[in-house]
Amino acid sequence: METLLDIANVSAGYGRIEVLHGVSLNVRAGEIVALLGANGAGKTTLLSTAMGLLPARTGAISFAETPIQRLDTAAIVRLGLALVPERRELFGAMNVEENLLLGAYGVAGGGPASRRADLEAQYELFPRLKERRRQLAHSLSGGEQQMAAIARALMARPRLLLLDEPSLGLAPLIIEQIVQCIVDMRDRGGTILLVEQNARAALGIADRGYVIENGRIALSGTASELLADPAVQDAYLGGQGSTARAMEERIRARAAYYAATAKPVARR
Amino acid sequence: MDLGRDPRAGILVALLFAIALYPLLLRSDYALGAAITVGTMAIATVGFVLLLGYARQLAIGQAAFCTIGGYGSALLVIRAQWDPFVAMIAAMGVSMTVAYLVGRPILKLHGFVLAMASLALQLILGFVATEWSELTGGAIGLSGVPRFAILGWQVGGDRALFYVVWCAVALAVLAGLNVDRSRIGRELRAIASSERAASSIGIDLGQAKVQMFVLSAGMASIAGSLTVHYLRLMEPGVFGFQYSLNIITAVVIGGLGSIWGGVLGAGIIIGLREALRLTSQPSFEGVVMGALTIVILLLFPRGVAGGIADLYRIATRRVSDATEKRATAAPGDAFRDLAGDDSILTLDRVARRFGNLVAVDKVGFTVARGSITALIGPNGAGKTTLLNMISGDQPLNGGEIRFNGARIDRLSAHRVARRGIARTFQNLELFDTMTVAENVMCGRTRHAGTNVAAIVARLPGVGREERKMSEEAERWLAFVGLGDAGARWPNTLAFGHQRLVELARSLALEPDLLLLDEPASGLNDSETEQLADLILRIRARGITILLVEHDIRLVMGLADHVVVMNHGEKIAEGAPAMVRADKLVLSAYLGA
């Protein structure tokens, strides 16, 4: 399979603070690759560096064999890389369709007819957006906003989509829908690099995954290897053999402990 | 500031020497006059930096207050034979009173509308000055203004006036710097960064803006009075629209972000004008000034003062460790009575509509004191809208909200915060223009005891309060587990850590009730468990928590009471186990 994104030994950071220390990672065409890690590990920084939003201080980044670490973001988008940022960043005062059309900005050879076709393709993937096409972006619910952000990115016809925490702030039922959409995109030939805190959901649909810790790749492998890895289970899946119920029980036990040890003092 | 080592102290001393020696070295009346003009304008521009640069209020009719100062001084001195210094102070009082009365209504306006309103004030004053000729001498004005004097001490000659003016500049700069490095300076930057977050931590937006408007009006008035004593006359044209324009140009060129920018800008503007006059090209003044403004702004987008600050930072860049903060002890977990069974918050038939859409439909529930109450439901169910109504961010269309027994549903956000309700935001509202520690310090506004006058004069208590605020901020950062992040900028932290900064900022209010809007979003499982522990430690301090959250494990594990909303309506409430078994909740939210 063709390697689309190849990140080799990249360091990057903000001011004097270096966040990434020699990270290497690759994504092949047709894959879903999950990137896992704690807050502050450098996941978003890695995506920003790939998109040219932040300079790589060392190392090389190439996309479909083209070196891109010196290119600006607009040029990288034209090559076929698109990012859906953590906070979605829709244009709130515009309606859904206008937001989507702006995603097609700068797409080569995009006449009105092909733009219309792209738009219909997104509506097919996200029927909910078609219902809401005339609604202002800021009045959408969280899940609809996430769908609109993904659809807008797809309007640029990316060969690789970088998704930063698509489940952020979404209700359980909606997360399932978004996860299904990501699988649908891959089944239609898309390639996705998925940053996600919900490690169980991410590894459930990914082909491969990387674990980043303190700015370094600590582990990598197929999704099933990572799911079975004791270290991954401890750090990201709530302990070995853990379930959602077990975590809830642990939290409840802590609450009971605090309640039992609380020393009554005078109320204000 | 260590006077021996800091190069900035050297620059300051050199500057003071240069000013002191200026009239002795350049003996021409012309040079002296130019320097007095720079000085008087600098007093006005320093005030304008506070208003435009810090409070971000585009009230551009500053010359209106110069006009009041000018006429006030001229009339009181000529007609009533007042001492010029006393007259100047009296005129300043009038200007500040007018600014206060006018400021309350017009500072509610924003952007260009505010600009037009403030300009209208200037035009009205100019019109009155011209038409009320028996008082002001009409278009001819008032001549025969005597030389300046301070309580009987005659300021004989322009050289003496030069020193008086520059002493006034020094006082204005000092006042400006005192505001800059105080809680008010931080609060102004907070307002400029996010008005919503600023009011959520108890900062009174209206008051902060009016304070700067009044302060800048006072400074403009002094500039007006001193100018009149230099010119020895006052007429409507002295402080016309052109003067307002010069003040604006000066602060933009000099640098809006710094008090020094005001002084520099005044020097550049007047210096350029005089240089053009010397080369007998006054007719090109407008063209050259315009072109130079553009060139300077292209070279230094943050003005000359901003450019100098950048150069200084580059020149003194040290490779030191920015995060060598000592670990500070977290505030001791003072346990409070958690067994209280009375309610801290009561919602009764609360409703909110957006056009035809009913976002919240007659929702009522109570939050028990000392409890963790969770509010859950699908995206778009109205949970955040409800939080916004409790925190005073959005008005109600019906119903009422009581906090500690008193109605709060008509209070503005900063009043609600001051009563003791703090909140965090789903999409984070941190102040990006200040460090993490300063963000948290802003949360202490509710407990600040110093007023604006004390801060301008930097009375001894102000420094003490600053240090105490700083210590408090460090303690709360340590409490949430970010003890080493105080010196960093919020936008360099990971999303989940930014959430913790926001939490520390809300905790710094020491609220009775804390509203958390999806605190676990962006956290992985182990971080979510740490958050659960943090929430329990917050509750152990006697703070009641109302939690909006999608992570059902966190909700079910933590909450004493769960309220479920769907399509703006409350569909269930009760103990976690009860809610989990509810068929309606399962189909609307949890899924099978």
Would you say residue B335 has pLDDT above 60?
no
Q: Per the CB < 8 Å rule, is A17 touching B492?
A: yes
Tokens of B526: 């182990």
Average pLDDT over residues A227-246: 77
Closest-CA distance, B527 to chain A, in angstroms, reads: 8
**By C-alpha distance, which of B420, B470, B480 is closest to B441?**
B470
Q: What is the rounded distance in angstroms from the CA atom of residue A222 to the CA atom of residue A210?
A: 9
Average pLDDT over residues B548-557: 90
Residue numbers in B near A141 (CB within 8 A): 378-380
Average pLDDT over residues B29-38: 90
* Facing residue for B493 by CB, picked from A40, A143, A169: A40
CB of B556 within 8 Å of any CB in chain A? yes
Which of B525, B554, B564 to probe by mutation at the A interface, max A CB count within 10 Å?
B525
Closest-CA distance, B511 to chain A, in angstroms, reads: 12
Residue B71 identity (one-letter amino acid): Y
Q: Per the CB < 8 Å rule, is A244 touching B523?
A: no
Query: DSSP readout, B520-553?
Result: TTT--HHHHHHHHHHHHHHHHTT-EEEEE-S-HH
Q: Give the DSSP H or E segment for B516.
A: strand B513-517
Closest-CA distance, B536 to chain A, in angstroms, reads: 6
CB of B542 within 8 Å of any CB in chain A? yes
Average pLDDT over residues A225-244: 78
Q: Are B391 and B515 in contact (CB under 8 A)?
A: yes
Do B22-316 and B421-510 share a fold? no
Report the range out of A120-134, A235-249, B135-149, B164-178 with the highest average pLDDT: B164-178
Q: Per the CB < 8 Å rule, is A254 touching B378?
A: no
pLDDT at A217: 94
Closest alpha carbon within chain A to B555: A248
Q: Per the CB < 8 Å rule, is A247 touching B550?
A: no
Would you say residue B88 has pLDDT above 60?
yes
CB of B334 within 8 Å of any CB in chain A? yes
Query: DSSP readout, B200-212?
Result: HTT--HHHHHHHH
Tokens of A237: 């899946």
Would you say residue A268 has pLDDT above 50?
no
* Facing residue for B522 by CB, picked from A168, A199, A266: A168
Comparison of pLDDT for B335 and B362, the residue scoring more: B362
pLDDT at A107: 66
Residue numbers in B near A234 (CB within 8 A): 526
Q: Give the angle B313-B462-B86 at the CA atoms, nearest 5°.
A: 100
pLDDT at B525: 82
Would you say residue A240 has pLDDT above 70?
no
**Cα–Cα distances in Å, from B512 out to B85, B256, B267, B320?**
50, 39, 51, 40
CB of B342 within 8 Å of any CB in chain A? no
pLDDT at B565: 92
- Please give the share of chain B, as a percent, with pLDDT higher than 70: 94
Residue numbers in A near B337 (CB within 8 A): 262, 264-267
Would you say residue B4 has pLDDT above 60?
no
Burial class (CB in 10 A: 0-12, 13-18, 19+), B57: buried
Q: Per the CB < 8 Å rule, is A199 touching B524?
A: yes
Q: What is the rounded distance in angstroms from the CA atom of residue B551 to the CA atom of residue B322?
A: 35
Burial class (CB in 10 A: 0-12, 13-18, 19+), A83: buried
Domain boundaries, chain B: 22-316, 421-510
CB of B586 within 8 Å of any CB in chain A? no
Average pLDDT over residues B537-550: 94
| pLDDT range class, residue B334, cuts 50, 70, 90 | very low
Would you say residue A241 has pLDDT above 70?
no
CATH, range B22-316: 1.10.3470
Would you say residue B400 has pLDDT above 90?
yes
CB of B539 within 8 Å of any CB in chain A? yes
Those residues whose C-beta lies under 8 Å from the C-beta of residue A146, and which sit 6 or more positions away, are: A84, A88, A166, A168, A170, A174, A178
pTM of the model: 0.80
**By C-alpha distance, which of B188, B107, B521 is closest to A171?**
B521
Tokens of B243: 């003067």
**Cα–Cα distances in Å, from B251 out to A131, B71, B240, B297?**
50, 25, 18, 11
Residue numbers in A near B494 (CB within 8 A): 39-41, 44
Candidate from A102-106, A226-230, A248-252 with smallest mean pLDDT: A102-106
Q: Per the CB < 8 Å rule, is B536 touching A254?
A: yes
Average pLDDT over residues B343-367: 91
Q: What is the rounded distance in angstroms from the CA atom of residue B49 to the CA atom of residue B258?
A: 7
Q: Per the CB < 8 Å rule, is A165 touching B338?
A: no
Q: Per the CB < 8 Å rule, is A165 touching B532?
A: no
| pLDDT range class, residue B591, cuts 50, 70, 90 | low
Mean pLDDT value across chain B = 87
| pLDDT range class, residue B364, cuts 50, 70, 90 | very high
| pLDDT range class, residue A109, cuts 50, 70, 90 | low
Q: Give the DSSP H or E segment for A149.
A: helix A142-154
Comparison of pLDDT for B36 and B341, the residue scoring more: B36
**By C-alpha distance, which of A249, A88, A95 is closest to A170?**
A88
Please name the residue that has the structure tokens 């992570």. B551
| pLDDT range class, residue B321, cuts 50, 70, 90 | very low
Closest-CA distance, A39 to chain B, in angstroms, reads: 6
Residue numbers in B near A266 (CB within 8 A): 337
Average pLDDT over residues B276-294: 76
Q: Are A240 and A51 in contact (CB under 8 A)?
A: no
Residue numbers in B near A170 (CB within 8 A): 379, 550
Which CATH architecture group holds B421-510?
3-Layer(aba) Sandwich (3.40)
Closest-CA distance, B67 to chain A, in angstroms, reads: 42
Which of A36, A39, A47, A179 to probe by mutation at the B interface, max B CB count within 10 Å?
A39
Q: What is the rounded distance in angstroms from the CA atom of residue B247 to the CA atom of residue B37?
A: 12
Q: Please report how many Cα atoms fall inside a 13 Å half-sphere around the Cα of residue A249, on the Cβ side.
A: 7
User: Residue A221 forms beta bridges with which residues?
Assistant: A209
* Facing residue for B553 by CB, picked from A16, A142, A244: A244
pLDDT at B322: 37
| pLDDT range class, residue B110, cuts 50, 70, 90 | confident
Would you say residue B589 has pLDDT above 80?
no
Average pLDDT over residues B542-554: 92
